Structure 1
Amino acid sequence: MRASVTAHKEFTVAKIDPRLYGSFVEHLGRAVYSGIYEPGHASADEQGFRQDVLDLVKELDVPVVRYPGGNFVSAYNWEDGIGPKEERPVRLDLAWHTAESNQVGIHEFADWAAKAETEMMLAVNLGSRGLDEARAFLEYVNHPGGSYWSDLRRQNGREEPWGVKLWCLGNEMDGPWQIGQKTAAEYGRTAFETAKAMRAFDKDIELVVCGSSTPNMPTYPEWEYTVLDYTYDSVDYISLHMYFENHEQNTKNFLARSMELETYIETISSVIKTIKAKKRSNKDVYISFDEWNVWYHSAEQDKPVLEGKHGWPHAPALLEDIYDFADVLVVGCILNTFIRRSDVVKVGCLAQLVNVIAPIMTVEDGPAWRQTTFYPYLYASKYGRGTALDLAVDVEGYETDFANNVPYLDVAGVLTEADGGLSFFLVNRHESEALDVELSLEGFAHSSVTMDKVIGGYALDKTNGPDEEPVAPADGNDASIVDGKLSVKLAPLSYRMIRLK
């Protein structure tokens, strides 16, 4: 099967915000305790952070990490995580039916983020709490000194403010599972007043208002319309969340799930434009897709804990999906979608970073290791920064129950900012046929292949583990450029990243 692609230097989508490749650490399962933080581990530093985990996070070059939740934040008292550790209270977390020791709070997480060379994206509790706690948290984190909350931070050992720019106004407030769920009007009003108060402290912070938890919510997309009607001129982003499942074990459907993501983004982009026109506004609001991933493998094993059958355990194994090769292809398509829609999607958070539906896994008192999905995330993060190209693609497609003409070739291209190179990310969705891809480079002088990485040839259910990581990139050897055209053969069900100079 043949596929024709044209990349033209004058046809671009947008400059990609590096935060498109962010991630997420929530106080959930083993994400924090025995994930990023395990004082007794052989690799632990003086603060108890696992150096082996830090090394893998830095390998991914994660630009921003959302914290502390997630569902957890909607009943979280941030003050529980400050001050002497021996005086911090143990709280019952209603979101995940576990006990929270509060041994890691804002000070510890900020120190970890600095070591991981990433920025913080903080969330305030608009579920069980509200405006007053949000402004206190902001003052504690960002004010230099001379006020109650900033002086308390200094008393607790941090002289300089952290200067966090990106703040989430709650989490999934449309969800009936959320502590403090609100109607769109209730939440819109609360978010508007909270944004007003936070901007009174600092007009230059960036604020993220809650959109729909999934496009399957009964209030979608009316929720976005109502919330933005209240908040449009006070916020910078509206958050969207989406998880991808394959319970029916239908490969064609699973590999086409990113088409639903395309529709989701397009729909909310239209809502944003509608509200902008209604308000005669001069500003733009963008999408923060701050929760996304494949999530379904661990659903059954998690039920006893989530239903409270084990009491209130501290940091149990929850949402520990073990990813397979099929998930590599889906994650590759999702990342390609974000690149192609980088005109409106500016922030993204792979949920999550360590142990909880994550590319990095740990064994308590043991090794840290890379899941199969580590690699498409790695390549997008490292080589997908710059300007997204508007590619013209001609390839056959197939039908699913929910999408028509799903292209067998999923592809995104980026003119990279650091070195002027070209990066192409390609997925062959076809289960049995290779794709002969001819990619025309119009207006580009790139003439050689400098990197060619292939993930393919595995059974769809092949996984990695702590003892070995068999699903890993190999070097491709058949990509070539002749007369301004890149030619490459993509094996059936394969992921490929090709760099040109």
Structure 2
Amino acid sequence: MSHARITIDRDYTIADVPRRLFGSFVEHMGRCVYTGIYEPGHPQADERGFRKDVLSLVKEMGPTVIRYPGGNFVSGYLWEDGVGPAADRPVRIDGAWHTIETNAFGLHEFVDWAKEADVEIMEAINLGTRGVEEARALVEYANHPGGTYWSDLRRKNGAADPFDIKLWCLGNELDGPWQIGHKTAAEYGRLAQETAKAMKLVDDSIELVAVGSSNRGMPTFGTWEHTVLTHAYDEVDYISMHAYYQEHDGDAESFLAEAVEMDAFIEGVVATIDAVKAAGKHTKQVDISFDEWNVWYQSGLDTEDQPHQVSKSWRTHPRLIEDTYSVTDAVVVGTFLNSLLRHGDRVRIANQAQLVNVIAPIRSEEGGAAWRQSTFWPFERMARLARGQILRLAVSSSQISTKRYGDVDAVDAAATWDEETGRLVVFVANRSLEESNDLTVDLRGLGNLRVTNAETLTIPEDGDRFTANLESAPDSVRMVPLPGAEIVDGAVRASLPPLSWSVIELEVARS
């Protein structure tokens, strides 16, 4: 039995919980849109073609903001193709994913779907093959009330009221040689600066996200952010981060510790932002939009079933990177959510990529069922329960040894305190593959609390760490009661199962 102690003091807070931290991502890639959120003719489709079974799961999961329409796709996308009568829209090739885009689903459809899902839209613009004028025109089309060419075209296309989209991405991963329209940092920085100025001249209430490094391993990481922000600091509000992780060669211990790398990545970007701020004598604060993150098994990407660059056939919404997620993956995703929450003072937006089918917490089959993957559960619990203030924790834990990160804490945790409701929620992972962890949570300045609920996601009795939810067995991995969590001598005591992500809910005991 391993041991861990977490000390919580209500006066030691990090920031308010940013509701945009619980975002997701819908890209015109694979089956995320077509047969994912949109499938006319499906038994569960409404009159607009929106799959109600998928929509129900999206509402249950609780994303607050969704980035659209890409991703690599957006760097070759003509937004005008996705407006107007569907029968008149052109069919195009998508070079990013080597597929055919029908444009049956576009901006108006996504706005309508987002209203149904009760999510904020985070619209991405094409700065790969396009530039200032196309971006300016899209803001006018989406947000201007009327009386101009582009706003009147929106009205003609059936939307009398503006879409009022407040959050915009200035392109996608343009530091990457794989990206259509790849640019140097200086080229992109100047383009982002001028595009941002033009967009805000149309609507000065919008918020803009500049493209950061595609991952921490990019050879230009750090210098890219510094150069881009040196140009565009005063014009943008956020800079983006992207990161994907996977288990390599059966090294589960290092995989379970990947949140250590995520912590370091975030802190490195924060340092760069603040260095530019200081050097430029800026007064405003630029924060982080971690607008792509997830577990993604990229080995075997270029295969017949998972075509990327090598596919010789152009197909319409083929299966692309439809990873099946296990118990292990869900625990890792839980630690990523913990990391994002711990850095909520600077990471103000985050989007798990993607929402449906494509490396997603929700899966669906064409003409068939929709179900929750294992990774659905930590996202749903944190999106629903994290309220109020993020608490700064002191964690003392037994260690586990990893090849990539050395010794790391077996226990990874985050917590929130809602003064208004008197509710404390602790999110805690046990990274150990074999040992339970005897947890003590020392509560300071929090009064007379009682445990109201305790749940865990762990290996099911009849499974192993690779157990996953499948269409034929959609409930194999789920949150189950965590027995024995209780208050003893003013502290929370619990036994965390091996390989688990748990939630302990407490509230002030009412006399």
TM-score by length of structure 1 reads 0.98
Output the amino acid matched with 2:498. Answer: P
Q: How far apart, in 1, do the equivalents of 2:133 and 2:454 lie?
A: 52
Output the amino acid matched with 1:496. Answer: S
What does 1:48-447 align with in structure 2 at a 5 Å threshold? 48-296=49-297, 299-300=300-301, 302=303, 305-416=307-418, 419-447=421-449
Closer/same/farther in 2, CA of residues 427 and 277 from structure 1, 3 Å limit: same
Worse-superposed segment, 416-425 or 387-396: 416-425
Q: How far apart, in 2, do the equivalents of 1:76 and 1:237 lie?
A: 23
CA offset digits 1:275-317 (Å, max 9, x no partner): 1101111110100000000000673475563235351100000
CA offset digits 1:429-469 (Å, max 9, x no partner): 11221111110110102521112111113411111111222
Q: How far apart, in 1, do the equivalents of 2:301 and 2:108 lie?
A: 35
CA offset digits 1:336-372 (Å, max 9, x no partner): 0001111110000000000000000001100100000
Q: State the secondary structure of the residue aligned to 1:136.
A: helix
Correspondence for 1:34: 35
Deviation at 1:418, TM superposition (A): 6.5
Closer/same/farther in 2, CA of residues 389 and 17 from structure 1, 3 Å limit: same
Q: CA contact under 8 A between 2:337 and 2:379: conserved in structure 1? A: yes
1:467 aligns to 2:469 (yes or no): no
Q: How far apart, in 1, do the equivalents of 2:406 and 2:251 lie?
A: 16
Closer/same/farther in 2, CA of residues 418 and 101 from structure 1, 3 Å limit: farther
Q: How far apart, in 2, do the equivalents of 1:92 and 1:39 lie?
A: 22
| Aligned length in residues | 501
Q: How far apart, in 1, do the equivalents of 2:392 and 2:319 lie?
A: 42
CA offset digits 1:201-233 (Å, max 9, x no partner): 222211000000000000011100000101111
Among candidates 467, 471, 488, match of residue 482 of structure 1: 488
Q: How far apart, in 1, do the equivalents of 2:125 and 2:298 lie?
A: 30
Q: CA contact under 8 A between 1:389 and 1:415: conserved in structure 2? A: yes
Output the amino acid matched with 1:473. Answer: M
Q: How far apart, in 2, do the equivalents of 1:11 and 1:169 lie?
A: 36
Closer/same/farther in 2, CA of residues 418 and 347 from structure 1, 3 Å limit: farther
Q: CA contact under 8 A between 1:247 and 1:296: conserved in structure 2? A: no
Deviation at 1:36, TM superposition (A): 0.2
Q: CA contact under 8 A between 1:302 and 1:318: conserved in structure 2? A: no
Q: How far apart, in 1, do the equivalents of 2:211 and 2:69 lie?
A: 15
1:13 aligns to 2:5 (yes or no): no
Output the amino acid matched with 1:366. Answer: G
Q: CA contact under 8 A between 2:388 and 2:417: conserved in structure 1? A: yes
Q: CA contact under 8 A between 1:22 and 1:63: conserved in structure 2? A: yes
Q: State the secondary structure of the residue aligned to 1:23.
A: strand
**How much identity, in percent, do the aligned residues show?**
50
Deviation at 1:96, TM superposition (A): 0.1
Q: State the secondary structure of the residue aligned to 1:233.
A: coil
Worse-superposed segment, 475-484 or 388-397: 475-484
Q: How far apart, in 1, do the equivalents of 2:100 and 2:447 lie?
A: 58
Unaligned stretches of 5+ residues in structure 2: none
Deviation at 1:385, TM superposition (A): 2.8
Q: CA contact under 8 A between 2:353 and 2:359: conserved in structure 1? A: yes
Q: How far apart, in 2, do the equivalents of 1:170 and 1:55 lie?
A: 30
Output the amino acid matched with 1:2. Answer: H
Output the amino acid matched with 2:6. Answer: V
CA offset digits 1:403-434 (Å, max 9, x no partner): 23310000110113773311111110112211
Q: How far apart, in 2, do the equivalents of 1:70 and 1:417 lie?
A: 38
Q: CA contact under 8 A between 2:302 and 2:308: conserved in structure 1? A: no
Q: How far apart, in 2, do the equivalents of 1:73 and 1:442 lie?
A: 49
Q: CA contact under 8 A between 1:135 and 1:198: conserved in structure 2? A: yes
Q: CA contact under 8 A between 2:98 and 2:311: conserved in structure 1? A: no
Q: CA contact under 8 A between 1:294 and 1:327: conserved in structure 2? A: yes
Closer/same/farther in 2, CA of residues 279 and 301 from structure 1, 3 Å limit: closer
Q: CA contact under 8 A between 1:339 and 1:388: conserved in structure 2? A: yes
C-alpha RMSD of matched pairs (Å): 1.3
TM-score by length of structure 2 reads 0.96
Q: CA contact under 8 A between 1:29 and 1:317: conserved in structure 2? A: yes
Q: How far apart, in 2, do the equivalents of 1:154 and 1:32 lie?
A: 25
Q: How far apart, in 2, do the equivalents of 1:169 and 1:13 lie?
A: 29
Deviation at 1:123, TM superposition (A): 0.5
Q: How far apart, in 1, do the equivalents of 2:3 and 2:206 lie?
A: 48
Correspondence for 1:498: 504
Q: CA contact under 8 A between 2:288 and 2:349: conserved in structure 1? A: yes
Q: State the secondary structure of the residue aligned to 1:460.
A: coil
Q: CA contact under 8 A between 1:325 and 1:471: conserved in structure 2? A: yes
Q: CA contact under 8 A between 1:302 and 1:319: conserved in structure 2? A: no
Output the amino acid matched with 1:343. Answer: D
Output the amino acid matched with 2:481. Answer: D
Deviation at 1:247, TM superposition (A): 2.8
